[in-house]
C-alpha cells in the first residue's frame, strides 16, 4: 500500500465523511472513494463501516490506523527535515565512513 492511500485512510477516519476528507486532501470525492476501495481490495479487508451519520473504522481499520498514523508522522518529519536541509543548501551524500573505538572494535572482532 502506498503513502497516498494511507493519507486518504487517515483523513477519512479523522473527518468521518468523504466530502470533507476529499476537500482536505485536495481530491475529488469519487477519487477518494476509489482510493479507499482500492486499499480495501489490496488488503482484502473492509476498513470502514459506512452509515447515515458518516464512516467509522472497522476493527481492521483501527488496526491499520494504529500503524499508519505514526508512520505518516515519521514521513512528515522526514519531508520537513529534508526541506530544511534543502533550504540551507546542504546536501547529503552516502559514503563510507570510519568508526572506531574499543567497544566497536571488540564487538566486530577487529
CA dist list (Å): 64 to 80, 88, 91, 106: 24, 36, 35, 42
**Is the pLDDT confidence value at 64 over 80?**
yes
Site of grid cell 499508519: 68
Q: For domain 3-87, which architecture applies?
A: Orthogonal Bundle (1.10)
Domain ranges in the chain? 3-87
Task: Tell me the three cell numbers of residue 45.
Answer: 479487508
**Residue 83: predicted pLDDT:** 87
Q: What is the mean pLDDT of residues 14-32?
A: 98
**Residue 28: predicted pLDDT:** 98
DSSP 98: -
Beta strands in the chain (DSSP E): 48-51, 54-57
d(CA 92, CA 74): 19
Using 50, 70 and 90 to split pLDDT, how confident is the model at 87? confident
Using 50, 70 and 90 to split pLDDT, how confident is the model at 110? very low
d(CA 55, CA 11): 11
**Residue 92: predicted pLDDT:** 57
Please count the other Cβ atoms lying within 10 Å of the Cβ belonging to residue 13: 20
d(CA 54, CA 18): 8
Amino acid at each position: 500500500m502506498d503513502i497516498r492511500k494511507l493519507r486518504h485512510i487517515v483523513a477519512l477516519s479523522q473527518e468521518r465523511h468523504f466530502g470533507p476528507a476529499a476537500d482536505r486532501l485536495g481530491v475529488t470525492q469519487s477519487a477518494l472513494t476509489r482510493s479507499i476501495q482500492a486499499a480495501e481490495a489490496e488488503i482484502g479487508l473492509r476498513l470502514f463501516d459506512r452509515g447515515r451519520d458518516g464512516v467509522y473504522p472497522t476493527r481492521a481499520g483501527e488496526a491499520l490506523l494504529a500503524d499508519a498514523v505514526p508512520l505518516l508522522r515519521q514521513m512528515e518529519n522526514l519531508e520537513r527535515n529534508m526541506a530544511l536541509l534543502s533550504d540551507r543548501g546542504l546536501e547529503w551524500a552516502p559514503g563510507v565512513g570510519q568508526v572506531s573505538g574499543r567497544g566497536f572494535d571488540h564487538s566486530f572482532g577487529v
